[in-house]
Amino acid sequence: MSTVHPIAIIGTGIAGLSAAQALHNAGHSVQLFDKSRGSGGRMSSKRSDAGALDLGAQYFTARDRRFVEVVQQWQARGWVAEWTPSLYNSRNGQLSASPDEQVRWVGAPRMSAITRALLGALPVHFSCRITEVFRGEQHWHLLDAEGNSHGPFSHVIVATPAPQATALLSSAPKLASAAAGVAMDPTWAVALAFNTPLETPMEGCFVQDSPLDWLARNRSKPGRDTAMDTWVLHASSNWSKQHLDLDKEAVIEQLHGAFAEMIGCAVPAPALSLAHRWLYARPATAHQWGALADADLGLYACGDWCLSGRVEGAWLSGQEAAKRLLEHLQ
Ligand code: FAD
Ligand code: NAI
């Protein structure tokens, strides 16, 4: 049975798009909303003079059978490719090669390629921040930050990070209070681009005991053809929390310093540098909810915070929200 009115989905990250695809494939019409100018959320990439840079999710693993299968389909369509970085580990300032057998995937030619492809031609309103989700006599309506109202909708799926979902779920107090209980930690990300390649074989590095917790040579990922040697540095949650309001120039200076100290080769001044603060980067605690639902009302929530705080968890959570909605329609 198809719904008379479309289903509204707030958030075009991987969770929202996973739900959108499942509902669209089941014959329902969906309408998506995102406050950003494009899709992807924490899987988006930033265009720069040094090519596109993956500032959020760096790569993803697939462990659940359903996700493994879908990633294989994405690979066949050319949306993702395997990334086989030369991996290192840094602990107490000691750098060591740390190869492993884990399969790691990236969007090709940039991380945002996946959500762009999933969005396809589905109807979407970008630069549209939803501030209120309310139910009229029979249907749902949304209000955006500019005072425009959208609707009617048969159901609403909120697919934003938990702190942004809380207010949008106020019609279902149980869902709102579950979301309110999920704290999310920030991550400062810095990208550096060098005219001359750094003299290191390193392409990725897990870091402990430093302001940093991860480094990636962006250029080593498949399809990132750029003349410059591009790197993405992520600060640890602790450092990011302690330096939440530091200005971007100071963040770049400090993380560039930590990078130069640990990488074991000369690091010149970068030709390009930028910083991005992810306020809600990862859930502070893990949950195994799948998705949240008030099926009688027709209000659902999904996102990485409902499962593992990873790309795979976000995709599975979107599938779960769609599944529960479809089950209730039968
Ligand atoms: P999001 O991607 O956050 O999507 C939510 C969307 O909702 C956004 O587009 C946002 O603009 C929109 N939105 C929010 N509020 C509103 C509103 N009021 N109205 C309209 N739109 C709204 N995962 C991995 O598996 N591997 C990694 O290596 C990895 N590294 C990471 C590194 C960083 C720095 C960060 C930040 C995340 C990383 N992750 C990684 C986690 C991964 O990116 C997330 O788990 C996943 O992308 C979350 O998807 P989502 O759809 O749940 O949320
Ligand atoms: P994974 O299996 O590659 O990594 C999981 C963890 O195992 C790593 O964090 C690291 O501590 C360790 N590890 C894996 N391979 C290693 C190696 N060769 N040498 C040394 N240590 C190794 O990927 P998975 O499970 O998919 O995790 C995703 C990654 O995304 C994690 O690293 C996680 O920290 C990161 N992430 C970062 C966020 C942020 O805000 N910075 C948010 C969400 C995830």
* Per-residue pLDDT tens over the stretch 160-212: 999 999 999 999 999 999 999 999 999 999 999 999 999 999 999 999 999 99
* Per-residue pLDDT tens over the stretch 20-35: 999 999 999 999 999 9
- Range 298-314 average pLDDT: 97
Nearest to 314 by CA among 56, 21, 67, 135: 67
Distance from Cα 90 to the centre of ligand 2, integer Å? 13
φ and ψ of 210, to 5 deg: -155, 165
Question: Residue 53: enclosing H or E segment and its boundaries?
Answer: strand 53-54
Distance from Cα 221 to the centre of ligand 2, integer Å? 16
- Rounded distance between C-alpha atoms, residue 106 and residue 278, angstroms: 19
Torsion of CA 252, 258, 260, 264, to 10 degrees: -160
- Three-state DSSP at 184 gives strand
Whether the CB-CB separation of 168 and 130 falls below 8 Å is answered with yes
- The per-residue pLDDT for 264 is 86
- The per-residue pLDDT for 1 is 54
- The per-residue pLDDT for 49 is 94
- Three-state DSSP at 318 gives helix
Nearest atom, ligand 1, residue 308 CA = 45
Q: Which residue carries 């949240």 as its tokens?
A: 292
Q: Are strands 30-33 and 7-10 parallel, antiparallel or unpaired?
A: parallel
- Rounded distance between C-alpha atoms, residue 329 and residue 286, angstroms: 30
Q: Is the CB of 100 under 6 A from ligand 2?
A: yes
Query: Which domains, from first to last, does the chain contain?
Result: 7-35+128-181+289-329 (3.50.50.60), 53-111+183-283 (3.90.660.10)
Q: Is the CB of 42 under 6 A from ligand 2?
A: no
* Per-residue pLDDT tens over the stretch 56-97: 999 999 999 999 999 999 999 999 999 999 999 999 989 999
Helix, strand, coil shares of the chain as percentages rounded to 5? 30, 30, 40
Whether the CB-CB separation of 29 and 7 falls below 8 Å is answered with yes
**Amino acid in the structure at residue 5:** H
Q: Is the CB of 304 under 6 A from ligand 1?
A: yes
Q: Is 304 annotated as a binding-site member?
A: yes
